[in-house]
Structure 1
Amino acid sequence: MADGGGIKGVVKGAAKLSKQLLEFSNILLTTDDATIGATPKEVVWTFRKTTLYRYRSTNRRHPVPILLTFALINRPDIFDLRPGNSFVEFLLEQGFDVFLVDWGVPNDEESDLGLDIYALDHLPAAIREVRRRSGAEEVTLIGWCMGAALTGIYLALTPDAPVRNWVPLTMPLDTENGTYQTWMGSTNFDVDHLASNVDSLPGWAVNTGNKLLKPIPNFVGTNLRLWNQVGDGSINKVSHQAMSKWVSDNPPFPAKAFSDWVHWMFKENALVKGQMEMRGRKVDLGNIKQSTLVVTASMDHIAPREGTLPLMDIIGSDDVHHMDRVGGHIGLMAGSKAKREIWPDIVAWLEPRSQ
């Protein structure tokens, strides 16, 4: 009887392992089929690879529209990750008129695009079209990661910007002694040589570099966690695949813009020091007078909270608030808890300032 029970246990265990392996493999192999960025939207304006979208809505109650901006190294679908867990969906439900600027997927022809082109040409043009299409005099700018830095640079250099509110989400600012500065700020990292020999930095290289900041969690931990969740039945396949698909979709980074970013942010740490110059003018964040909500994440290793907080003392606005929550650089705004614990607080801050 004992031998028979042992054999049955082995067979049962093998069957369970086989089922687990099949489901694990299926999730990995079908990730590209995941639905992300699905909220209906219309093209408002395009220039080169940059596109401005307006999301469809029959519930626009707030006079001040919102323009969302993201980084150059990932696609902006993170704002609209998946049905049921979409910041865009949430804003629309709350009655906001929502626009999104998508920097696109640059090719070799965009190698000459520096950060000034994005911050001082493409972004102002997008704002102009938001105002024209919505009929509003002012807009709210919500920037995430590098998107926050680009919107901050624009505001610092545009004192009369038609912007009422600014929400920088996990914005890199003071990079002193940060992981990126240790890596790219080193004299051994010759970004000028790199930029002069390539038209753009391949998306896979950017993705790999970011993952190397936490190699064990990124290259081992993610799949190990997936394996365990499949085994214990706790896996949310839709959520996992949506995030995995977004993370792996990295457009090329134009060489000029990459060189600008590395020099100003990591080699010189110029933005926080007020020493960044763009088109012959100093980028002084003290010129920012808009109502500002600074959002930080307690476990952010891309833009650590302590590197963002100096913004509170630098900008010249009389209406500055800080929101800090538990989470990482991306998970803070796109994780499973964001809809309950982050988005409502952002909307509560925006509503009285959007009338």
Structure 2
Amino acid sequence: MGLSGTAQRALRNAWALFVGDGIEPQHATASVVVADGPHRTLRRYGESDAGAPVLLVPPLAAPARCYDLRPGQSLVQHLVEAGRNVHVLDFGTMDRSDRHLGFEHWVDDIVPEAIARVAELCGGRDVDLAAWSLGGTLCLLTAAAHPGLPIRSITAFGTPIDYERIPFLGPARHLGRIVGEPALTAVTHLLGGVPAPLVQLGYRATALERELTRPWFVARNLADAGTLARMEAIDRFQADMPGYPGRLFHQMAMRLTVANELATGRVRFEDRTIDLADVTVPVLALAGSDDVLAPVPAVEAIGRVLPGSPHVRFEVVPGSHLGLLAGLAARGTSWAHFTEFLDDPAAPVPPGTAGSGGDVVRVPEFP
């Protein structure tokens, strides 16, 4: 008696997963490099004469292919199909030689340069910025520090503002207050930053249940190539996470996490202060209902810190930190809100939760 179809699929998948090259090839939508340099590779997706320009900015310590995870889970493909002129900024990997780089390197140099280049390539049109996680922080700080840049709007996927509202960071914030800057400075100087393996381990720790139940998950879905391919794409993504430069990690730990300065609307970097009140473009903030890295209350605080923005729109969508950006449900939830916002970022929104600046609306979670 031969093996059943299910058994045959399970055997093929097991071989591909544990011995072969994987369930499916690593995905990469076709692109063209339009600018390059250290930590600033800029790629265009789709036709050069497509519609309005969109620049996707990744977080630090995450690969830029968060926007192009796999077929059906690619924000890049979605935007290209919608007729947008899509560009992605790639920071590449970090090593000890980058230890001196801080937020200023991205806020004053890399991100403004990419915005200007995209605007130039697209006939001088203003650029819609979109970013995930800490990438949203980079975009907000850049827009505030350089209000003359050709920015049309900003969309932030899972970008925390109020770090006091992130429960799992509570112990770290308490420890930071006790040991203070000298101890953290000594550690980051010794290591040159946070090495990639530690970043990858930390990200996995935020989804501990997934890691612990992985063997049972694989066994239960061994005949389901689609489910295994989605798991494999996440595993590959996590394995490619780069490290943090020492100076930037120090700033993030002390200024954003311990001092919680984003929640005050003013962030200090040595001899300068960036005031988020200087953001003057419409902003869309998206929060994942199951996000532990950027919980809903931490993201929703954006409505309090952007008084200069004409419209601050806030939406809650289903999903984890990565799921709200690249999950199977994203096309009908977060991507739908994003593309609707891009159609007219300046469109008035119904009055919602109070904010000292533009209108803020909170939309209930999807069923």
The bucket for the TM-score relative to the shorter chain is 0.7 to 0.9
CA contact (8 A) 1:176 1:269 kept: yes
Write out per-residue CA displacement over residues 268-294 of structure 1, whole angstroms, 9 at most, x where no aligned residue.
111112342135332221221101111
- In the alignment, which residue of structure 2 is the partner of 1:66? 54
- 1:121 partner letter: D
Cα distance between partner residues in 2 of 1:32 and 1:280: 50
The alignment status of 1:351 with 2:343, answered yes or no, reads yes
Q: Which residue of 2 aligns with 1:192?
A: 185
Tell me, in whole angstroms, the C-alpha distance in 1 between the residues paired with 2:120 and 2:49.
19
Matched, 1:298 2:292: no
Q: TM-score, normalised by structure 2?
A: 0.84
Whether the 8 Å CA contact 1:34–1:245 is kept in 2: the answer is no
Structure 1 residues 294 and 250: CA distance shift in structure 2, 3 A: same
Q: Which runs of 5+ in 2 are unaligned?
A: 348-367
Q: 2: CA distance between counterparts of 1:241 and 1:214?
A: 15
Local SS of the residue matching 1:109: helix
1:81 shift after superposition: 1.0
Segments of 4+ in structure 1 off by > 6 A? Answer: 16-19
SS at match of 1:176: helix
Q: How many residue pairs get matched?
A: 341
CA distance in 2, matches of 1:80, 1:22: 26
Deviations 1:191-247 (A, max 9, x none): 2222110123211111112222342x132123322221226x475333222222112
Task: Note the residue ranges of structure 1 that are not aligned, 5 or more in a row.
Answer: 1-7
| Paired AA for residue 210 in structure 1 | Y
8 Å CA contact retained: 1:59, 1:96: no
Matched, 1:286 2:274: no
> Aligned-pair distance for 1:178?
2.4
1:329 correspondence with 2:290: no
The separation in 1 between residues aligned to 2:230 and 2:26, in whole angstroms, is: 10
SS at 1:263's partner residue?
Answer: helix
Cα 1:343–1:101 shift into 2, 3 Å: same
Q: What residue identity is the alignment partner of 1:57? A: E
The percentage of counterpart residues that share the same residue type is: 23
CA shift, 1:57, in A, is 1.8
Contact 1:165–1:291 (8 Å) recurs in 2:
yes
| 1:298–1:304 Cα contact (<8 Å) kept | yes
The amino acid across from 2:296 in the alignment is R
1:136 paired residue number: 124
**Structure 2 counterpart of 1:120:** 108
Seen in structure 2, the aligned counterparts of structure 1 residues 195 and 180 have a Cα distance that, compared at 3 Å, is farther
1:180–1:266 contact (8 Å) kept in structure 2: no
Per-residue deviation, 1:182 = 2.1
Whole-angstrom CA distance in 2 between matches of 1:29 and 1:307: 42
Letter aligned with residue 206 of structure 1: V
Give 3-state SS (helix, strand or coil) of 1:204's partner: helix
1:320 maps to which residue? Answer: 312
Please report the RMSD computed on the Cα atoms of aligned residues, expressed in angstroms. 2.8
Aligned-partner Cα distance in 1 for 2:15–2:255: 43
Matches within 5 A, 1:1-355: 20=10, 23-24=13-14, 26-30=16-20, 34-57=24-47, 60-62=50-52, 65-176=53-164, 178-185=166-173, 186-187=175-176, 190-215=183-208, 217-230=209-222, 233=224, 235-278=226-269, 280-315=271-306, 316-353=308-345
TM-score (norm 1): 0.87
Contact 1:69 1:101 in 2 (8 A): yes
Q: Distance in 2 between matches of 1:338 and 1:144?
A: 13
47 and 59 in structure 1: CA distance in 2 versus 1, 3 angstrom threshold: closer
Moved more, 171-180 or 87-96: 171-180
Tell me, in whole angstroms, the C-alpha distance in 2 between the residues paired with 1:31 and 1:244.
14
